[in-house]
Amino acid sequence: MNTLYYQSDDIIYALATPFQPSALAIIRVSGSGCKKRLSTGFTRADALISSPSHTLVYGKLFDIDTKEHIDEVVLSVFDEKRGYTGEESVEITCHGSLYGIETIFSLLKKLGMRSAQPGEFTFRAFRNGKVDLTQAEAVMEIVHSHSSRGHSLALHRLEGDLYRQMETLKGQVLDAMSSIEVQLDYAEDDFSDEILFPYDLIEKTLESVDSLIETYSVGRMYKDGAKIVIAGSTNAGKSTLFNLLMKSERSIVSDIHGTTRDFIEGEGVIGSVPVVLYDTAGLRSSSDLIEAEGIRRSRNLMMSAHVIILLVDADDDLSQLQEHKELLEDPRCIVVYNKCDIAQKAVSPDVISISAKKGEGFARLERAVIEKIKKDMSADRGDSLIIESARQRDELVRARTALSNSIRMAQEEIPLDLIAVEVQEALDALGTLTGEVTSADILENIFSGFCVGK
């Protein structure tokens, strides 16, 4: 990303819809004077220039050199401070022909506009006070959400719930700082050696910060998906179960032992929670170097899993099951007996038994998986304040450390001027989280990850 572009006031354009053939496409244009500039290549120039904000103007774009018509379009007009970026802007709805889109791009370039950089529209919205940094991050969190709950949480952040919470916390820290500064200002006139530290305010803020930090693991799970690893001996039916959970033929199913020699992954949703499913190599001793490497990778994968489904053949005896003793003792593990439809011996009703081939018992397994996932999501109490940004988590941790230090220093009767430094550090961290105090490097890191049309 070229940071200089982010500091300029020229007119930018970019495709806001996917670059692929479609019925319609939308091209965003933003910058002071863009209506007048665009009117020179539009058949109804006066109508465009005189159009008020939030109106639609129909007409045709034409090549300013050849005067040939390019496309019939509808222009959505937004005045300064009224649209997404906070600047005068126009959104061009055109036909979704790739050739037509490229031709419109050529026209906009001829008119003196330039192609936008990734995230530049949202950066301008941030720069013009339309959104704070938490709302800007929520834009991409909505775009990449994989479930209804994840989308809802990101939408709450876009609507400013997190920003308002940060403003409340900053207000509490400011009140605490004011209390400290008053004592510093009048220290020479005060004959008392007692330090009046605002414990209640700081501790109240610290409690709220801790609660938000706890939600990060849940937010990441909604963003990246809960890792579910299907493990077990060879030929237990892991690949069949994987295909059943994925609702597609992703993994090769065979009666031959050791067919899966490396893990296969796929994404899905279980109980409104996005998940990443892994079909792994069968756990056994193997002299085959490739299969042995696949087993090693499978074991490494299980270390970071949220849920491990240990799949065993319903006819396996107890001694074979004990080969996986370390998994049986793992609280993340769900033992599932497969091939119950053809098993030669009865399976206890207390265990989860399925037929991955026929789908029998699948609903019970799904409920067990959801229950395991929910234990990892205890911080999701149904409210809207859950964070999934590592940057936000880091700033909250910085604020928590500073607030904790201030309490400890007050208890140790450290001079107030040194305590004030820690309180100011907490205030800076909260300000950085919302973008009130933010370096260019942080802005570049955030907005460069956006798609071009955002």
Per-residue model confidence (pLDDT) at position 196: 79
- Averaged pLDDT score across all residues of the chain: 84
C-alpha span between 403 and 177 (Å, rounded): 11
Per-residue model confidence (pLDDT) at position 13: 96
Count of residues for the chain? 454
Per-residue model confidence (pLDDT) at position 258: 47
Per-residue model confidence (pLDDT) at position 268: 84
C-alpha span between 260 and 288 (Å, rounded): 13
262 by DSSP, 3-state: which? coil
Domain boundaries, the chain: 3-130, 139-215+385-435, 227-376
Alpha carbon distance, N-terminus to C-terminus of the chain:
14
The mean per-residue pLDDT over the stretch 101-128 comes to: 93
Span 243-279, pLDDT tens digits: 888 875 544 444 444 444 457 888 888 877 888 999 8
What is 139-215+385-435's CATH superfamily? tRNA modification GTPase MnmE domain 2 (1.20.120.430)
Per-residue model confidence (pLDDT) at position 141: 87
Per-residue model confidence (pLDDT) at position 1: 46
Question: Is domain 3-130 annotated with CATH 3.30.1360.120?
Answer: yes
Per-residue model confidence (pLDDT) at position 144: 81
DSSP 8-class letter at 351: S
How far CA 260 is from CA of 69, 275, 365, 423, 433, in Å, comes to 57, 21, 22, 56, 45
HSE-up of 356 (CA within 13 Å, CB side)?
Answer: 26
**Cα 421 to the chain's mean position, in Å?**
33
Span 314-353, pLDDT tens digits: 776 555 667 777 788 888 899 888 888 776 666 666 788 8
- Beta strand 114-115 with 89-96 is unpaired
Per-residue model confidence (pLDDT) at position 261: 46
The structure's pTM equals: 0.76
Per-residue model confidence (pLDDT) at position 295: 66
C-alpha span between 28 and 18 (Å, rounded): 13
Span 117-163, pLDDT tens digits: 888 998 999 989 899 889 988 888 888 887 788 888 888 898 889 99
Q: Which CATH code is given to the segment(s) 227-376?
A: 3.40.50.300
| Residues 34/36/40/43 CA torsion (nearest 10 deg) | 100
C-alpha span between 90 and 147 (Å, rounded): 31
Other CB atoms within a 10 A radius of the CB of residue 299 amount to 16
Q: Under the phi-then-psi rule, with left for phi > 0, alpha for psi from -120 to 50, and beta for the rest, what region is 365?
A: alpha
C-alpha span between 277 and 259 (Å, rounded): 18
C-alpha span between 386 and 226 (Å, rounded): 16
Among 254, 244, 303, which Cα is nearest to 277's? 244
149 by DSSP, 3-state: which? helix
C-alpha span between 207 and 251 (Å, rounded): 47
Do 139-215+385-435 and 3-130 have the same topology in CATH? Answer: no
Is it the case that residue 440 has pLDDT exceeding 50?
Answer: yes
- Work out the pLDDT band at 285, boundaries 50, 70, 90: low
The mean per-residue pLDDT over the stretch 212-239 comes to: 85
69 by DSSP, 3-state: which? strand
SS (H, E, C) 1-50: CCHHHHCCCCCEEEECCCCCCEEEEEEEEECCCHHHHHHCCECCHHHHHH
Looking at per-residue pLDDT, the higher value among 284 and 430 belongs to 430
HSE-up of 396 (CA within 13 Å, CB side)?
Answer: 26
Structure tokens at 181: 């500064």
Least confident of 8-12, 144-148, 260-264, 366-370: 260-264
Helical pair 216-224 and 362-376, crossing angle rounded to 10 deg: 140
Least confident of 52-56, 90-94, 375-379: 375-379
